[in-house]
Amino acid sequence: MRRFFRYIRRQPKTVRDNYALAFAGSITGIVFLFWFVSLPGIGSDAIATVNKSEDESPSPFATLIKQTKEQLASVRSGITSSTSTVVTSTEAVATTTIVLSEAEIETIVKSLEENQVHEEATTSAIAVPVLIATTSATSTTEGVR
């Protein structure tokens, strides 16, 4: 076995890929064979399966297909209804209340006053720092440059 693996390692990439594909295919075939043999209704039970009455539960594949169709229908209806919901919801979320402390308000006012003085001093377009207020309980200045 070790000689065979050494032989494969010496082969070009395409040959090694072919061996890998053959190995994976054979393992998959073996798993499929065990699964197929273990299915109910194979062999001597085939006649009993054919003679099933209509009142028994449907096959797993029929149930899967039915549930898939129902889910796709619900997704389609959700997509068509969500488009109208998005349009109305953006109109409803027009106002936001931000709670700021006194210190934050003072720093914002100072910054705005500095920006107004700076804008009056220059006439060209420049980058202006923007302060963004958040609603988080903690504030850090780490990582802000």
User: Splitting the chain (145 residues) into consecutive groups of 10 residues, what average pLDDT does each group show?
Assistant: 90 94 95 84 54 64 86 79 50 61 84 71 64 68 57
Output phi, psi for 69, to 5 deg.
-60, -40
pLDDT score, position 46: 52
pLDDT computed for residue 120 by the predictor: 60
Single-letter code of the amino acid located at 90: T
- 106 lies in a domain? yes
Identity of the amino acid at 43: G
Which string of DSSP letters, residue by residue, matches 103-114? HHHHHHHHHHHH
Domains: count for the chain = 2
* pLDDT value at residue 121: 56
Q: Which tokens hold the place of 119?
A: 């804008």
Chain length of the chain: 145
Give CA separation, 120 vs 52, 53, 116, 117, 125, in Å: 89, 89, 6, 5, 12
Contacts of 8 (CB under 8 A, 6+ apart): 15, 16, 19
- Domain holding 11, by residue range, is 1-42
Provide CB contacts within 8 A for 36, sequence distance 6+.
42
Domain presence at residue 110: yes
The reply to whether 67 falls in a domain is no
In a domain, 6, yes or no: yes
The answer to whether 131 touches 111, Cβ cutoff 8 Å, is yes
Is 7 part of a structural domain of the chain?
yes
Query: In 3-145, which ranges are E strands?
Result: none
